Structure 1
Amino acid sequence: MDTIARRIAGFGMDTISLAGPLEAKLAAMRAAGFEQVMLSARDVAGFPGGVPEAARALRASGLRATGFQVLRDFEGLSGPLHGYKVDIAQGMLQMCAALDARVLLACSSTSAHASQDPIDIARDLRKLAMLAVPLGIRVAYEGLSWGHTVNQFTTAWEVVDRADCPNLGLGLDSFHIFAAQTPLDALDAIDPERIFLVQLSDFLWQEAPTFEDRKTTARTFRVFPGEGVHSEALADLVLRLRALGYAGDYSFEVFNDDYQQLPLETVAARAQRSALWLAQDVLHTPFPLPPWTAVRP
């Protein structure tokens, strides 16, 4: 297992990709050789004993928290709606800190009540980032492919850049990139140090032309990298990110109704195969030798 763990270091799973209670999910990930986990707020909030016990279970598993998700529909609101979302954000940031998850994922708003003015969006993202500063948390802003105003990573980067906060960056998701058909050449305009998280998944048809198509596919029928029809584009994405200088984490965010009906170890094994494909066949990551092979003077 140590051999597998060394090979897939840098890749992790999202708890939403597995069925069952949090402790069982963590155990399945660890048994598959993963060393990190992206935590879903639902798994943590519903854990017996609450957040403190969930944090203890995470520490006991030996897994590191990649980050915590997901804050939705935060930006561009006003009046009571804005105040409500600020309260929600503060609660999620406290959970994030308790779990020692250093990244909070925030998805672009889908609300028809939200302003479409990029100045308003940037202002609110700056406020969110400032709320996260005392807790030492970074905010990764992700453009949902069905977002009301921000639905491509290019637009997400524009508002993040406008907000100009060191702890506010991008969360990239391969599903949304492929669904929105955003050209990968656009990555060249992004500062790699402002990419805080990359989530990977694929799907089994070439296009998702409408927002409803994208939403339905994203929430019920994603597959792991290497299992879908965009494998070549996904390989190109991670290679471009490496060439750009991204050296952060990759997490498999795979919402799939079929996988929710399979044993945890079966799904974790599929994720392990994906991680090995990316590490060995795509990135050609050098295999670290065990310490006992070191030449002694």
Structure 2
Amino acid sequence: MRSTGSLDRSIRDFGMDTITLAGPLEAKLDAIREAGFSQVMLKANDLAGHPEGWKGAVRAVQASGLRGTGFQVLRDFEGLSGHLHEYKVDIAKAMLEMCAALGCKVLLACSSTSAHATQDRDAIARDLRKLAMLAVPLGIRIAYEGLSWGRTINEYTTAWDVVSRADCPNLGVCIDSFHILAAKTPLDALSDLDPARIFLVQLSDFMWHETPTFEERMATARTYRVFPGEGVHTSKVAELVLRLDALGYAGDYSFEVFNDDYVQMPLGFVAQRARQSALWLAEDILRRAVPLPNQLRLRTA
């Protein structure tokens, strides 16, 4: 039987999202820590809905001892103009302030679904550059994610294109396995990415093979995701993680699992499923528990 300490080290790069669990923030943090994780992906509602206000939520996270993987999610920021753009800049500033207060170094921004946003990629890149510049004084990096139902940017390949056009060192991409699987984006294009500009990887699977329409993707994404190893795309999720590892990605993996069943289950039950998923990825796929040459990737502190 593995010791808890050994377990924690093997899954040190993996964490859970609070969106997977029901209940108050403190109970979620306790369940995540007790399952052996050392980090947590937080969302704005964790702070805005806290009974002691958002600063009370910050204190709860700090007291938990968990590291903040990142903060989510800024939506529909890019491609707007006039008063809509000004409104979103104000929202972004507030999100960045909360992110900084939590000590999180990554703010997640999702690609726009708004019909009011331009489809001009250069304009999108300019707005992302502006967002990144707002984050610089706070020491925050922006991880831009292509939603599989995004209006213009709906794959990691196009997300990388606009991030490259923006050309800011603190602007990178978020790779999300759900959106890759839903859009059936080939993994070969991962080799075109700079691993240093992949700021976050979010992992999940789902229970059927096809999501042919944007509506089906949204419904599946928001209610029926499962942990890696539980769905029908297990081999693809494993391939994705192995390709990222071979590319040189050395950042965090977070389980972003929206699931209507899980939010009706006891917190410990769900957190233990996440732990088993993390162990499968860390030890069976990445082989981090096997001290053989070229099979244990050493990370810098």
Unaligned runs of 5+ in 2: 292-301
Residue of structure 1 equivalent to 2:6: 3
Determine the C-alpha separation between the residues in 2 that align with 1:287 and 1:100: 33
Determine the C-alpha separation between the residues in 1 that align with 2:95 and 2:35: 29
Shift in Å, 1:3: 2.6
Q: How does 1:1-297 map to 2 (within 5 A)?
A: 1-286=4-289
Determine the C-alpha separation between the residues in 2 that align with 1:28 and 1:213: 31
Contact 1:38–1:67 at 8 Å: present in 2 too? yes
Contact 1:7–1:287 at 8 Å: present in 2 too? no
Shift in Å, 1:271: 0.2
SS at match of 2:226: coil
Determine the C-alpha separation between the residues in 2 that align with 1:67 and 1:230: 26
Shift in Å, 1:287: 6.1
Contact 2:155–2:185 at 8 Å: present in 1 too? yes
Shift in Å, 1:62: 0.9
Contact 2:47–2:55 at 8 Å: present in 1 too? no
Contact 1:51–1:98 at 8 Å: present in 2 too? no
What TM-score results when the alignment is normalised by the length of structure 1? 0.96
SS at match of 1:274: helix
Q: After superposition, what is the alpha-carbon deviation per residue over 1:26-45, rounded to whole angstroms, capped at 9, x for unaligned? A: 00000000000000111111
Determine the C-alpha separation between the residues in 1 that align with 2:96 and 2:136: 10
Q: After superposition, what is the alpha-carbon deviation per residue over 1:21-72, rounded to whole angstroms, capped at 9, x for unaligned? A: 1000000000000000000111111112222211111111110000000000
SS at match of 1:29: helix
Residue of structure 2 equivalent to 1:293: none
SS at match of 2:175: strand
Specify the code of the residue in structure 2 equivalent to 1:80.
Answer: H
Specify the code of the residue in structure 2 equivalent to 1:154.
Answer: T
Contact 1:13–1:253 at 8 Å: present in 2 too? yes
Specify the code of the residue in structure 2 equivalent to 1:120.
Answer: A
Contact 1:6–1:287 at 8 Å: present in 2 too? no
Q: After superposition, what is the alpha-carbon deviation per residue over 1:140-168, rounded to whole angstroms, capped at 9, x for unaligned? A: 00000000000000000000000000000
Shift in Å, 1:228: 0.3
Contact 1:74–1:85 at 8 Å: present in 2 too? yes
Q: After superposition, what is the alpha-carbon deviation per residue over 1:207-264, rounded to whole angstroms, capped at 9, x for unaligned? A: 1010001000000000000000000000000000000000000000000000010000
Specify the code of the residue in structure 1 equivalent to 2:20.
Answer: S
Determine the C-alpha separation between the residues in 2 that align with 1:120 and 1:181: 27
What TM-score results when the alignment is normalised by the length of structure 2? 0.94
Structure 1's consecutive aligned runs of 4 or more residues displaced over 3 angstroms after TM superposition are none
Residue of structure 2 equivalent to 1:295: none
Unaligned runs of 5+ in 1: 289-297
Determine the C-alpha separation between the residues in 2 that align with 1:35 and 1:28: 11
Determine the C-alpha separation between the residues in 2 that align with 1:141 and 1:5: 29
Determine the C-alpha separation between the residues in 1 that align with 2:129 and 2:242: 30
Could you tell me the percent identity over the aligned residues? 73
Determine the C-alpha separation between the residues in 1 that align with 2:202 and 2:53: 26
SS at match of 1:132: helix
Residue of structure 1 equivalent to 2:297: none
Contact 1:19–1:261 at 8 Å: present in 2 too? yes
Specify the code of the residue in structure 2 equivalent to 1:126.
Answer: R
Q: CA RMSD in A?
A: 0.9
Shift in Å, 1:4: 2.0
Specify the code of the residue in structure 1 equivalent to 2:80.
Answer: L
SS at match of 1:270: helix
